[in-house]
Structure formats: structure tokens, C-alpha cells
């Protein structure tokens, strides 16, 4: 899946849309979290979005799951990419700012690249690995505190118990767990789509994820919605409709039939969008170091998506983007992994 292979600017915009929506949804959720609870917010972002996707799928004539294996895979998908991802993200967002949280989550393309190389033999190559490295460097420069980065060059640095306590208290580890959950979910969609339509799977997995999140919230949290103003309900609605229903639908539509490494590389755009709109709505200001990170991020996306052209190879190492029905029929003829 390469941007250069898109037939029109609209196709390229559709590829970028999920990451724009996720970045802006992160800003919306960060503005709401002081007035609600994390698991309730995670459920709001999951269950209603799943219902909206299933309604849209019904109008599109998408087939419902027809076997117990389909429901089993949807259940695993819901646990990993739904409940765990949304839960870790919301809990981490309580302890971390939107920009840094986006950086931590968007470290997942490395895991996707390794899993895709192992499971699907997707080509990465020198330029792809260089791009991934630049992407991780870029999002680190964007989101990590400058003193942390400069501190890396001190020869006398020692990791102490206090450092580990600061790490676990700050929420970074929760965001990294969210990133790992999303990476596994991105790869899992290939297996899920052998048994169920990708749009249907996306809708049901969000519903199955939202139910336990709301159930746990009802038991361990209180004051979930009493302090929410009209503007905050609007922000939650945006995160649900655009940041979940539309973004998830587009992302897993592409992930079900395209090159996972190229697609996941675009997640490096998410913190860029989060920081831009964080500046507009939350008055967050980019430092010179963060602008360097933005530059590295954009270069990394170019390298990953143009790696075959840079190597002078034909585009034979990745499948074309197909309609889900065609993609499913192709995968049925592929050998089991």
C-alpha cells in the first residue's frame, strides 16, 4: 500500500484520514478526561462506535458472521485491540499529556513491521528500516521532554528505583501497552478476515470491547457523567463518531488487504496532528526540538512508502488494495499461516 500507487488525491486522503482523526480525537479526549472517568470514556469511544459501524454495514449489505470460528476471532480481536487498547489508552491519558500519549502509542509500527515480516513475509528492506528508525526518533523528539533527550548524552546516567517509579507513575508504560495491543490487533485483522467481513468485524469488536469497559466502570468508578458540560459531550461524540467509528472502519478496511508495514507507518502522522490541534485548542506550543521531530516523521513516512521505488524494484512484494469481498476470496486461496 503506497501513496504513490493511489489513483487519486482522494485515495491518499482516505489513507491519511484515520490518523488525522485519531490525533484530533486524542486532543478531544484529553480535554474531557478531567471531568469524567477513564474506563467510562473508553466505553463511550467503543460501544456506540461499534453500533454505528454495524448500522452502516447493514446499509452496505455486508454479511454477518456465519461460523463459530468467526465469533471466536472477533472475541480475541475485541479483547486485544478493543478492551485492552482502549482501556490502557484511557488510563494512561489520565497521567500523561495528549502529545506524549500519542507518541507512546505510535511506537507500534515497529512491532507491526516485525510481526508482518514473520507472519506474512512483508518486505521491509534497508529504506523501510531506516524510515522506521527515523519515525521512532521523530515521534520521540516530538513528545519526550527535552531534558530527557539531552540527558541521554550524560556519561554518568544511572537508572535508579526512583526512575522506574517515575516511569510507572507517569503513564508511559500504559501507553506502550496500548501500542502493543494495537500492533497485535493490526496484524490479527488478517486472520479475522478469513472468517468475517472486516467492516463487520470492526463493528462487533468495538461493541464487545465497550461492554466490559462499561461494566468495570460501573463497579470501580463513580461520577462518570455528572460533571460533563455540553461542549464535553460534543468532544466525546467527535471521539466516538470520527475518532472511532470512521477511523477504525477506514483503518481496518485498508489493513485487511494492504501492506501492513506501509499502512502502520502512517501512524507517525497521528502525533503530528495531535500536536498541531493541541496547539490550537489546548494552547500547546511546539519547541524547536519538536519541529525537528515533525521533519523526521514526514521523512520516515516517505522512506517507508517509497522503499520499493528507492530500491528500483517492481511492486510485486505487496498485494493491491481490493474490495473486502475480493480480498476475502483471495485470502481463501492462500495457504494457512
pLDDT 10s digits, 86-110: 999 998 888 877 776 777 777 676 6
**Cβ neighbours of residue 316 closer than 8 Å, sequence gap 6 or more:** none
pLDDT above 70: residue 302: yes
Q: How confident is the model at residue 319 (pLDDT cuts 50, 70, 90)?
A: very low
pLDDT above 90: residue 182: no
Torsion, CA 263, CA 264, CA 267, CA 269, rounded to 10: -40
**Cβ neighbours of residue 259 closer than 8 Å, sequence gap 6 or more:** 1, 2, 116, 122, 318, 319
Q: Do the Cβ atoms of 25 and 243 come closer than 8 Å?
A: yes
Q: Do the Cβ atoms of 37 and 88 come closer than 8 Å?
A: no
Helix (H, G, I), strand (E, B) or coil at 256: coil
Burial 215-232 (b: 16+ CB within 10 A, else e): ebbeeeeeebeeebeeeb
74 CB burial (10 A radius; 0-12, 13-18, 19+): buried
pLDDT 10s digits, 104-149: 777 676 677 777 777 777 777 888 788 888 888 887 787 666 666 7
Give the residue-averaged pLDDT of 271-299.
Answer: 81
Provide the CB-side half-sphere exposure for 94 (13 A, CA). 16
Q: How confident is the model at residue 189 (pLDDT cuts 50, 70, 90)?
A: confident
> What element of type H or E holds 254?
helix 247-255
* Grid coordinates given for 125: 528492506
Provide the CB-side half-sphere exposure for 169 (13 A, CA). 6
Q: Which residue has the higher pLDDT, 49 or 283?
A: 49
Domain range annotation of the chain: 3-147+162-332
pLDDT given for residue 87 in this prediction: 93
Cα–Cα distance measured from residue 258 to residue 201, given in angstroms and rounded to the nearest whole number: 17
Region of residue 288 (left: phi > 0; alpha: psi -120 to 50; beta: else): alpha
pLDDT given for residue 166 in this prediction: 58
Q: How confident is the model at residue 80 (pLDDT cuts 50, 70, 90)?
A: very high
pLDDT above 70: residue 258: no
Q: Do the Cβ atoms of 122 and 274 come closer than 8 Å?
A: no
* Grid coordinates given for 284: 500547546
pLDDT 10s digits, 4-52: 444 567 777 888 888 899 899 999 998 899 999 999 999 999 999 999 9
pLDDT above 80: residue 204: yes
Amino acid at each position: 500500500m503506497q501513496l504513490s500507487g493511489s489513483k487519486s488525491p482522494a485515495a491518499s486522503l482516505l489513507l491519511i484520514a484515520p490518523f488525522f482523526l485519531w490525533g484530533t480525537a486524542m486532543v478531544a479526549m484529553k480535554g474531557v478526561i478531567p471531568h469524567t472517568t477513564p474506563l467510562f470514556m473508553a466505553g463511550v469511544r467503543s460501544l456506540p462506535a461499534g453500533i454505528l459501524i454495524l448500522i452502516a454495514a447493514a446499509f452496505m449489505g455486508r454479511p454477518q458472521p456465519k461460523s463459530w470460528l468467526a465469533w471466536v476471532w472477533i472475541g480475541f480481536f475485541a479483547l486485544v485491540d478493543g478492551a485492552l487498547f482502549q482501556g490502557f489508552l484511557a488510563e494512561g491519558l489520565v497521567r500523561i499529556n495528549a502529545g506524549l500519549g500519542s507518541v507512546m502509542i505510535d511506537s507500534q509500527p515497529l512491532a507491526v513491521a516485525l510481526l508482518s515480516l514473520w507472519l506474512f513475509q512483508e518486505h521491509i528492506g534497508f529504506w523501510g528500516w531506516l524510515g522506521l528508525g527515523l519515525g521512532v526518533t521523530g515521534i520521540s523528539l516530538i513528545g519526550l521532554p527535552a531534558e530527557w533527550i539531552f540527558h541521554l548524552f550524560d556519561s554518568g546516567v544511572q537508572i535508579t528505583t526512583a526512575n522506574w517509579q517515575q516511569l510507572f507513575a507517569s503513564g508511559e508504560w500504559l501507553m506502550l501497552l496500548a501500542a502493543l495491543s494495537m500492533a497485535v490487533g493490526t496484524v490479527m485483522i488478517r486472520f479475522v478476515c478469513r472468517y468475517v467481513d472486516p467492516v463487520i468485524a470492526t463493528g462487533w469488536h468495538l461493541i464487545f470491547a465497550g461492554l466490559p469497559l462499561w461494566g468495570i466502570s460501573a463497579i470501580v468508578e463513580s461520577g462518570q457523567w455528572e460533571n460533563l458540560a455540553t461542549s464535553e459531550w460534543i468532544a466525546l461524540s467527535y471521539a466516538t463518531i470520527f475518532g472511532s467509528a470512521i477511523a477504525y472502519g477506514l483503518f481496518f478496511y485498508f489493513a485487511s488487504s494492504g501492506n501492513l508495514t506501509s499502512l502502520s507507518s502512517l501512524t507517525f502522522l497521528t502525533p503530528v496532528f495531535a500536536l498541531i490541534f493541541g496547539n490550537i485548542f489546548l494552547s500547546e506550543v511546539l519547541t524547536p526540538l519538536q519541529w525537528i521531530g515533525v521533519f523526521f516523521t514526514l521523512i520516515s513516512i516517505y522512506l517507508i512508502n517509497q522503499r520499493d521505488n528507492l530500491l528500483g524494484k517492481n511492486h510485486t512484494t505487496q498485494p493491491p488494495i481490493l474490495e473486502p469481498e475480493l480480498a476475502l476470496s483471495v485470502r481463501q486461496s492462500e495457504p494457512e499461516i
